[in-house]
């Protein structure tokens, strides 16, 4: 009788773990399609040799513009350059009608957090790859998943349900910021990032 109770208890624990590990994330996040694919490798590779800041610019006052506007894309893509489906979509649906691309933003920070890119990129000379990984050399965009409750991308938490990153650049949680500041001997107050 005792053995049967132990088996039932272990079965319950395993079922709960499976639900928490697999079913809950599937229910919590929904996948949304980007408006088109984007090949960073074509832009940053040897043929074009662009750097991140050529499209992801800073304004004169040091604020970060983020995702490039269609005007920035039009500087090179006023007409189709290549023959890919994405190039066709870019020109026909966005460049020609002067319509902004409604990109889903992987790294949109929570409303209570302030992240000054200029201070990190310009002053601290942190390379984009340290936080964003090899995104600049990717040929396709990663799957975009949004949290059904918060509305934030899964990339803020990280792909691993445990919250432990598989790569140093994965996830954008506060403990990562605190650890980086500690490594660089920064003594910042909470109000520096939470305005």
Q: What is the pLDDT along the chain (195 residues), one digit of tens a residue?
A: 678 888 888 888 888 887 777 777 788 899 999 999 999 999 988 778 899 989 998 887 777 888 999 999 999 998 888 889 999 999 999 999 999 999 999 888 888 888 888 889 888 999 988 888 888 889 999 999 999 998 999 888 887 766 677 777 888 888 888 889 999 999 888 888 887
- Domain range for residue 150? 106-195
Q: How far is the C-alpha of 67 from the C-alpha of 38, rounded, in Å?
A: 12
Which run of H or E residues covers position 178?
A: helix 174-183
Whether residue 118 lies inside any domain: the answer is yes
Q: How far is the C-alpha of 147 from the C-alpha of 104, rounded, in Å?
A: 13
Structurally, how many domains does the chain consist of?
1
Q: How far is the C-alpha of 68 from the C-alpha of 48, rounded, in Å?
A: 17
Whether residue 146 lies inside any domain: the answer is yes
How many whole angstroms from its chain centre is CA 41?
A: 17
Whether residue 67 lies inside any domain: the answer is no
Whether residue 45 lies inside any domain: the answer is no
Per-residue confidence (pLDDT) for residue 161, from 0 to 100: 67
Q: How far is the C-alpha of 26 from the C-alpha of 85, rounded, in Å?
A: 30
Per-residue confidence (pLDDT) for residue 80, from 0 to 100: 84
């Amino acid at each position: 009788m005792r053995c049967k109770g132990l088996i039932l208890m272990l079965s319950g624990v395993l079922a709960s773990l499976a639900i928490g590990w697999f079913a809950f994330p599937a229910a919590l996040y929904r996948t949304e399609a980007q408006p088109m694919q984007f090949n960073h490798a074509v832009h940053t590779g040897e043929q074009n040799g662009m750097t991140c800041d050529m499209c992801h610019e800073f304004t004169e006052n040091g604020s970060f513009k983020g995702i490039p506007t269609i005007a920035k894309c039009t500087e090179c893509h006023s007409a189709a350059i290549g023959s890919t489906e994405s190039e066709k979509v870019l020109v026909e649906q966005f460049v020609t009608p002067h319509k902004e691309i409604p990109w889903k933003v992987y790294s949109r920070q929570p409303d209570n957090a302030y992240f000054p890119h200029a201070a990190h990129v310009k002053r601290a000379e942190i390379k984009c790859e340290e936080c964003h990984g090899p995104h600049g050399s990717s040929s396709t965009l990663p799957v975009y998943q949004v949290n059904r409750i918060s509305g934030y991308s899964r990339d803020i938490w990280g792909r691993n349900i445990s919250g432990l990153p598989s790569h140093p650049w994965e996830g954008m949680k506060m403990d990562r910021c605190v650890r980086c500041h500690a490594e660089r001997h920064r003594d910042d107050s909470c109000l520096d990032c939470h305005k």
